[in-house]
Amino acid sequence: MDTYDKVLERFKGRVTVKNCKIMTSMSEETLCFTASVYFDGKKIGTADNRGHGGPGNFDPKDASVSETLLALEHFAVGLDCTYFTSRWVILEVLIDDAVQKFSETKQVKRDIKNGNIVFTQPDGRTYLVKWPELANSWHLNPKSREIFMMAAANNKWAIVEILNDRFPSGTKSLKRFPKSDSVAQGA
pLDDT tens by residue, 12-67: 888 899 999 999 899 888 899 999 999 889 899 999 999 998 888 998 888 778 77
Radius of gyration of the chain (CA): 21
Are 128 and 108 within 8 A, CB to CB?
A: no
> What is d(CA 119, CA 153) in angstroms, rounded to the nearest whole number?
14
User: Over the chain, what is the mean pLDDT?
Assistant: 82
> What is d(CA 65, CA 184) in angstroms, rounded to the nearest whole number?
49
- The values of phi and psi at residue 137, to 5°, are -110, 15
**For residue range 100-135, what is the model confidence (pLDDT) as tens digits?**
999 999 999 999 999 999 999 999 899 999 999 999
Q: How many separate helices (H) and strands (E) can be counted in the chain? A: 7, 7
| Domain segments of the chain as ranges | 3-104, 114-174
pLDDT value for 162: 94
The model's pTM: 0.76
What dihedral angle (degrees, nearest 10) is formed by the CA atoms of 32, 97, 171, 141?
150
The amino acid at 12: K
**For residue range 58-96, what is the model confidence (pLDDT) as tens digits?**
988 887 787 777 777 777 666 666 666 667 778 888 899
Count Cβ atoms below 10 Å from residue 151 Cβ, excluding itself. Answer: 14
Helix axis angle, 66-77 relative to 87-113, nearest 10°? 100
